[in-house]
Amino acid sequence: MALGRFLSFIDKQRQILTELQKTTSSKENIGYLIRHNQELEHLAADFVYSLRLESGEIGTLSNLVDIGKITEDVINSQRSRAQELSISLVAKGTEKEQPIQPKTTLKVPIEKRIFAQVFVLGDITWIHDSLKRILELALLLCQKNAKIQVSVTRDESLGKVIISSQSNKIPPNLTPQLFEKFYGSLQELPELSQTSGLEGFIAKNLLERMGAGAVVETSKNPPLIIFTVTFGLKAETVN
């Protein structure tokens, strides 16, 4: 209840500041307050998410969900942020791909889209929150005027979301620390100073509770940080 009230106050504050920005001459200062407000909201949400995970309050949930559509939604929600950071956010996909789904009695309509339909068992909110946090890290670590490429693929019995960020800021042996609390020895990295320190920890834990996995590695030529989220494609009938 306390968290709910706190977030409610922050949300109302942001709405007021946004309206003030339209009428006041000090738009730069108001803009700063709005960004600060958003950072407070992000910190509070991540802190409570972490507490819920560690307390065991968050268990496992499974529904038939399309990771292609979820990934597309996450990308669209982060396009303005990418623009602010002078980063090109590229969704690599094709509308001609056929839907990929398990054998199930559930009928899923086909729609025009970027990524193929890849259906897995999981929780739509957890997948969205996990991918969003991973993409946030990819954006912060990406070089200015570079690009991030996102793809959704099928590899035999696996569904994958791959986020590749053009960056050479992390040594290969330290990349696993991006999924640790407060990023281990990477916590002093200037690019991570805008984070709560819990983004990677939350993302990995939520994914693992759904039976998915998350790894991060680097590539030298070209220099990349590559996040790979892997889901098992289910073949059971879903009621």
* Continuous segment of H or E residues that includes residue 227: strand 224-232
Per-residue pLDDT at 3: 62
pLDDT over 70 percentage in the chain: 79
* Most confident option among 13-27, 54-68, 121-135: 121-135
Closest of 64, 79, 21 to residue 234, by C-alpha: 64
Mean per-residue pLDDT, 172-182: 94
Per-residue pLDDT at 154: 86
What six digits make up the tokens of 41? 């909201």
Spatial distance between the Cα atoms of 97 and 69, rounded to a whole number of angstroms: 13
CATH (residue range 63-232): 3.30.565.10
Comparing 232 with 115, which gets the higher pLDDT? Answer: 115
The domains of the chain are located at 2-55, 63-232
Residue 148 has pLDDT above 60, yes or no: yes
Confidence of residue 212 (pLDDT cuts 50, 70, 90): very high
Q: Global pTM? A: 0.76
Mean per-residue pLDDT, 159-180: 94
Residue 59 has pLDDT above 70, yes or no: no
Per-residue pLDDT at 98: 47
Mean per-residue pLDDT, 45-59: 74
Per-residue pLDDT at 102: 56
* Most confident option among 25-34, 111-120, 146-155: 146-155
Residue 239 has pLDDT above 60, yes or no: no
Comparing 94 with 30, which gets the higher pLDDT? Answer: 30
Three-class secondary structure of residue 226 per DSSP? strand
Q: Report the relative pairing of strands 224-232 and 88-92 from DSSP bridges.
A: unpaired
Residues 6+ apart with CB under 8 A from 149: 90, 92, 162, 163, 164
State the DSSP code for 78: T
Backbone angles phi, psi at 153, to 5 degrees: -135, 170
Mean per-residue pLDDT, 8-22: 74
In this structure, which long-range contacts are made by residues 47-54, counting pairs with CB atoms below 8 Å and at least 24 apart in sequence?
47/196, 47/198, 48/3, 49/129, 49/198, 49/202, 50/181, 50/198, 50/201, 50/202, 53/202, 53/205, 53/206
Per-residue pLDDT at 200: 95
Range of weakest confidence among 23-37, 63-77, 111-125, 176-190: 23-37
Confidence of residue 105 (pLDDT cuts 50, 70, 90): low
Confidence of residue 138 (pLDDT cuts 50, 70, 90): very high
**Cα 193 from chain centroid?**
18
Task: Count CA atoms within 13 Å of residue 135 on its CB side.
Answer: 31
Residue 22 has pLDDT above 80, yes or no: no
Residue 33 has pLDDT above 80, yes or no: no
